[in-house]
Amino acid sequence: MFHPDYEIVIGLEVHSELKTESKIFCGCTTEFGGDPNTHCCPICTGMPGVLPVLNEKVVDYAIRAGLATDCKIAEFSKQDRKNYFYPDLPKAYQISQYDLPLCYEGKVEVEVDGEKKVIGLTRIHIEEDAGKLNHERNGSLVDYNRCGVPLIEIVSEPDMRSPQEARAFLEKLRSILLYADVSDCKMNEGSLRCDINLSVRKKGATEFGTRTEMKNLNSFNFAVKAMEYEAKRQIKVIEEGGVIVQETRRWDEAAGKSISMRSKEDAHDYRYFPDPDLMPIVIPRERVEEIRKSLPEMPDSRRIRYEKDFGLSSTDANILVASRKIADFFETATEHSGNPKLAANWIMTEIFRLLTEEEKEEGKIPFGPELLADLIKLIDEGTISSSIAKKVFEEMWNTGKEPAVIVEEKGLKQISDDSTLVTMAKEVIAENEKSVQDYLAGKDKAVGALVGQMMRRTKGQANPGKVNEILRNLLNEMK
Amino acid sequence: MALFKKTAHELKGLLESKEISSEELTKSYIERIDSIDQKVDAYLTVCKDQAIEKAKEIDKKRVNGDELGALAGLPIAVKDNICTKGIKTSCASKMLEEFVPPYEATVMKQLNKEDAVLLGKLNMDEFAMGGSTENSAFKVTKNPWDLERVPGGSSGGSAAAMASEQAVLTLGSDTGGSIRQPASFCGVVGMKPTYGAVSRFGLVAFASSLDQIGPLTKDVEDMALAMNAIVGHDPYDSTSAPMDYPNFAEALRNDVKDLRIAIPREYFSDGVQPEVKEAVLKAAKAYEDMGAIVGEVSMNIMDYALAAYYLISSAEASSNLARYDGVKYGMRTENFNNLLDLYKQTRDEGFGKEVKRRIMLGTYALSSGYYDAYYKKAQQVRTLIKDDFDKIFMDYHLILTPVAPTTAFKIGEKASDPIEMYMGDICTVPVNIAGLPALSMNCGFDNNGLPIGMQLVGKGFSEKKILRAAYAYEQSITKSFVRPSLG
């Protein structure tokens, strides 16, 4: 899809809103929404004379994110002011971190087309969010509710070589943040958004090309489209003898293209300097170890375990571990049913079919994993057939009733009584002369039609394997 | 004797013995302000009704036998950069001319807890930038000793109000000498506490790493009273020191026998007015006579202190004052067509010359490519200055210096020469850079009858020692507050 002589180089900056209840420097709620300017106080609106006090929870969450991505955790860190004027930035500086981020030198492993690849993380730092501008017909209004909501900015190395790799990275990172329970990563609420740094170069070149930056993409699909467009645009510019300008561009989803916002010439000088209102952040190693102990098993190690212990394919294991809630559901169902393959299949087919993307995330399944295990057991014991199981499953989904109860109420037990089936098979053979003749003439497939008839008569409650066997036995006797 | 002529501790006694009521006392101060402040121009806002209301409330509490704070019923006033809930806080700037804070500075909460009565808000150099109070956007405060002279700055209103006896005690703020130098020019006691001893929450920031609120009083005993009221850890200020603060009243002992006092050579150079030098050295002699050990020391880094101070304070100010952009509160220009215009015009119309000067200087010092050469270098010098002080404090308890090279100068005399004005901070600035406590008090008068101030500097959190030395000196010289004759 891209010019074969070129290589794409992508680095990402991901902003993720932390799950703390209160803001980073004051006690205001971080709850999403609310009427404009109802979640703020003199501190987060930067009134004269107010001072910030760091919410220690923010540091804990950032360390969690750092440990979950194999980062080193700084023993000594500080907060810096990033100075620039904008109406949604009440102090006219953002408290962020400049040269001593809380976490650094981490990594995230991704898999694209069966190829594993390690993407380096340069750093993770904490900062405060800005407010929001609402542009009205006769002016702009500022909503400061989001001011001071704690964010982590996760900066990757320029290690990705295709939009697909970048997407895999974003998905993996999201999954890790959800596992570590530091962010709810709701893209629609802006609690996960990314900036894309992209450049292209001739394959084999050692120097990076000039990069452009696209800011604030809040959907993986948009991000992929933006990267594809931008890569093609840059290659085209170079192929036509032009040069790439280092600039910030905006992805216009409606137009399907990126638009230049400002070039480096009028780029900001943020005049970073250590915020004198805040003390340095000193992180004792004990605190790091305590947080490390409290972290759940991360998706990568789970995937390896599923492959090893349950014999799942790498692809299936990957799908299951993407969401921690789903993975937990799978493990419990497996534990109770002793059949990981079936548990995995039911989750990836029937359950995923009925869940929206968002509900998958939340693991919003209307019944517990034990009930899925019960259903699997009924199949394994031969009490119900797979096709009946689907009906039972639908009923479970709608009512939350136990599968055994549903089978009992609806009389869905599998007919495995041979004499009943033999009697029925004789009737079917008598009524379907054509298929019988075809079979006897050597058309093996003709038996399928007869099996179908049998299944209809038993309303699917017969074991198809058994039916097949009985029919063949009777037909073979007629040869 | 008129009530306003008394000290805080004398009035406290009269209130406690119910010889006077707070209402009576407050009214006498309001009368004093009405009659004298048109000459001095110390106040920007006087809250008469609120003050009388509060005084009555405290009187009622006293009658009921309720527990009362240490400043119960005493009428005080504070610099207009300390946020007072519901009372205009302008920083003497057009930018905040109509700003009424919806919250209270922590020091105001503490003063309220001690049942003090707030008379009003005092004039200052705009955003506390200056050494003469001439940079106020609203009025020029006069020195009560000579109405043609400046009261010093930036807490000129706080010092002039004390010298003209328009409040029992006042609060100022000190970033590079802004309490000590006006206290010296006006002949009152002024103290800059250790950085972190008094909460900065609600003090409109000039330079966060240097700013500190402190009291101005008539005498050292009042200073101990005031200090007790305002020190303490504040969870709303990350730079506030969490520790047990002593009762400063214990420092009021006439005894300096164990004290070792250092006299740094560099503070007595040729740039210092001879009478000032003389008066401070005379004070040193007085300490020796009282049994203290006085020795001469050297502070080599002094030459760089001013440069470091003006870089650091301006850098921080450029960022701290960026929030005044016409978007949220304070002034907004009438003349703008777009966002950039709004910013530029608002800041052009709202800020005075000196504030703009420092914002530009600070912005430059922080800008990319210059940061290392200016801001970072200044921070390195800061460390060296701290080291210099530490070295001296290995052998000495206190350092004695002049507060300013000269006595109060004429209004307009230095207004056109900012550098000349900056030079006047040479004795006070190093103390802020090192975050140390220091007290300024009168130690004589020059040939024009203008007060001369001396400065006592101590180790971090050694306020008690400083107060003890100041008290002993005060006892040895005079026992009553020397006041200007304002007619």
| B289 has pLDDT over 80 | yes
Query: What pLDDT shows up at residue A410?
Result: 81
Active site residue B462: no
Taking phi first (over 0 means left), then psi (-120 to 50 degrees means alpha), and beta for anything else, what does residue A382 get? left
- Catalytic residue list contains B35: no
Position A474 confidence tier, pLDDT thresholds 50, 70, 90: confident
Average confidence (pLDDT) over A278-284: 98
Mean pLDDT computed over B82-100: 98
pLDDT at A191 over 70: yes
* pLDDT, average across residues A376-386: 87
Mean pLDDT, rounded, for A357-376: 86
Nearest CA in chain B to A281: B238
Contact at CB, A48 and B204, closer than 8 angstroms: yes
CB contact under 8 A, A271 and B363: yes
Determine the distance in angstroms separating the CA of B164 from the nearest CA of chain A, rounded to an integer: 29
User: Distance (Å, rounded) from C-alpha A249 to C-alpha B420?
Assistant: 49
Query: Is B273 an interface residue toward A (CB < 8 Å)?
Result: no
Q: How many residues does chain A have?
A: 479
| Contact status of A208 with chain B (Cβ, < 8 Å) | no
Amino acid symbol at A368: G
The pLDDT score that the predictor gives to residue A392 is 92
Nearest-neighbour CA in chain A from B290: distance (Å): 42
Look at residues B37, B408, B32 and name the one whose alpha carbon lies nearest to residue B187.
B408
pLDDT digit string (tens) for B292-323? 999 999 998 888 999 999 999 999 999 999 99
B208-240 pLDDT tens trace:
999 999 999 999 999 999 999 999 999 999 999
Q: Tell me which chain A residues have a C-beta less than 8 angstroms from the C-beta of B204.
A: 48-49
Q: What is the structure's pLDDT at B300?
A: 85
Q: CB contact, 8 Å: A51 with chain B?
A: yes
pLDDT at site A266: 57
Q: Judge contact between B365 and B315, C-beta under 8 A.
A: yes
Q: Which residues of chain A does B124 touch, with a Cβ-Cβ cutoff of 8 Å?
A: none
Q: Give the span between the Cα atoms of A224 and A231, in whole angstroms.
A: 11
For β-strands A139-143 and A132-136, DSSP reports them as antiparallel
pLDDT at B383 over 60: yes
Q: pLDDT tens across B403-432, in order?
A: 999 999 999 999 889 998 999 999 999 999
- pLDDT category, A476, cuts 50, 70, 90? confident
* B-contacting residues in A 87-146 (Cβ below 8 Å): 87, 90-93, 142
Which of B70-74, B100-104, B163-167, B367-371 bottoms out in mean pLDDT, i.e. has the lowest?
B367-371
Contact flag A51-B327 (C-beta cutoff 8 Å): no
What is residue A263's predicted lDDT score, i.e. its pLDDT? 59
Residue B487 confidence (pLDDT): 47
Task: Identify the helix (H) or strand (E) that includes residue A468.
Answer: helix A464-478
List the single residue in A with minimal CA-CA distance to B342.
A87
Give residue B255's pLDDT. 92
Q: Is there a contact between B200 and A278 if contact means CB atoms under 8 Å apart?
A: no
- Establish if B343 touches chain A: CB-CB under 8 angstroms: yes
Q: Which residue of A has its CA nearest to B234?
A: A53
Q: How many secondary structure helices (H) and strands (E) does chain A include?
A: 17, 16
User: Between chains, do B371 and A42 touch, taking CB under 8 Å as contact?
Assistant: no
What's the pLDDT at A268? 78
- What pLDDT score does B478 carry? 67
Q: A123 to chain B, minimum CA–CA distance in Å?
A: 22
Q: What is the predicted pLDDT for the residue at B342? A: 97
Q: Which two tokens stand for residue B207?
A: 């330079």
Of residues A47, A85, A276, nearest to B329 (C-beta): A47
Residues of chain B contacting residue A90, judged by C-beta atoms under 8 Å apart: 323, 327-328
The alpha carbon dihedral of A141, A147, A152, A156 has a sign of positive
- Compute CA distances B316 → B6, B23, B207, B312, whole Å: 40, 42, 5, 6
* Chain B nearest C-alpha distance from A336 (Å): 51
Residue A368 CB coordination number (10 Å)? 14
> What pLDDT is attached to residue B88?
98
Whole-Å CA distances, B314 to B155, B175, B354, B375: 18, 11, 11, 10
- State the pLDDT at residue A382: 80
Closest CA to B281 of B258, B257, B261: B261
Contacts of B203 in chain A (CB under 8 A): 49
Q: What is the mean pLDDT of chain B?
A: 96
Closest Cα in chain A to B207: A276
pLDDT at A445: 85
% pLDDT > 70, chain B: 99
Please tell me if residue A83 touches chain B, with a CB cutoff of 8 Å: yes
Report CB contact under 8 Å: A49, B202.
yes
User: Quick check: A51 and B319 CB within 8 A?
Assistant: no
- For residue A464, with 0-12 CB atoms within 10 Å meaning exposed, 13-18 middle and 19 or more buried, which class applies? middle
Contact A48 B363 (CB under 8 A): no
Confidence of residue A479 (pLDDT cuts 50, 70, 90): confident
CA distances from A254 to A189, A212, A233, A257 (A): 20, 20, 17, 8
Question: What is the pLDDT averaged over residues B98-102?
Answer: 98
Cβ of residue A266 closer than 8 Å to a chain B Cβ: no
Q: Is B339 near chain A, with CB under 8 Å?
A: yes
Cβ-defined contact of A91 to B236 (cutoff 8 Å): no
The more confidently predicted of residues A363 and B428 is B428
Give me the residue from A51, A142, A276 closest to B201, CB to CB. A51
- Inform me whether the C-beta atom of residue A280 falls under 8 Å from chain B C-beta atoms: no
- Which two tokens mark A426? 């004789």
Residue from the list B91, B236, B330 with its beta carbon closest to the beta carbon of A51 = B236
Pick from A48, A52, A269: which is nearest to B83 by CB?
A48
Which residue from B318, B282, B248, B315 is spatially nearest to B466, judged by alpha carbons?
B248
In degrees, to the nearest 5, what angle opens at C-alpha A81 toward C-alphas A77 and A84?
A: 150
Put simply, the answer to whether A49 touches B101 (Cβ < 8 Å) is yes
- Residue A291 pLDDT > 90: yes
Q: What is the mean pLDDT of residues B392-396?
A: 98
Confidence of residue A457 (pLDDT cuts 50, 70, 90): confident
CA angle A38, A42, A47 (to 5 degrees): 130
> Which residue is catalytic, options B6, B54, B79, B218?
B79
Helix (H) or strand (E) holding A135: strand A132-136
State both tokens at B239: 């730079």
DSSP A291-344: HHHHPPPPHHHHHHHHHHHH---HHHHHHHHTSHHHHHHHHHHHHHHS-HHHHH
CA-closest candidate to residue A282, choices A61, A17, A79: A79
What is the predicted pLDDT for the residue at A294? 96
Q: Is B50 on the interface with A (CB under 8 A)?
A: no
Query: With bands split at pLDDT 50, 70 and 90, how would you rate the model's confidence at A267?
Result: low
> If you ran DSSP here, which 8-state letter would residue A415 be given?
B
- What are the residues facing A214 on neighbouring strands? A196, A249
Give the per-residue pLDDT at A416.
Answer: 67
* Whole-number Å distance between alpha carbons of A112 and A172: 11
What's the whole-model pTM score?
Answer: 0.91
CA distance A84 to chain B (A): 8
Check if B45 contacts A (Cβ < 8 Å).
no
Sheet holding A273-274, edge to edge: A93-96, A80-83, A273-274
Establish whether B178 is a catalytic residue.
yes
The Cα A65–Cα A59 span in angstroms is: 10
Q: What is the pLDDT of residues A105-146, one digit of tens each?
A: 999 999 898 899 999 999 999 999 999 999 998 889 999 999
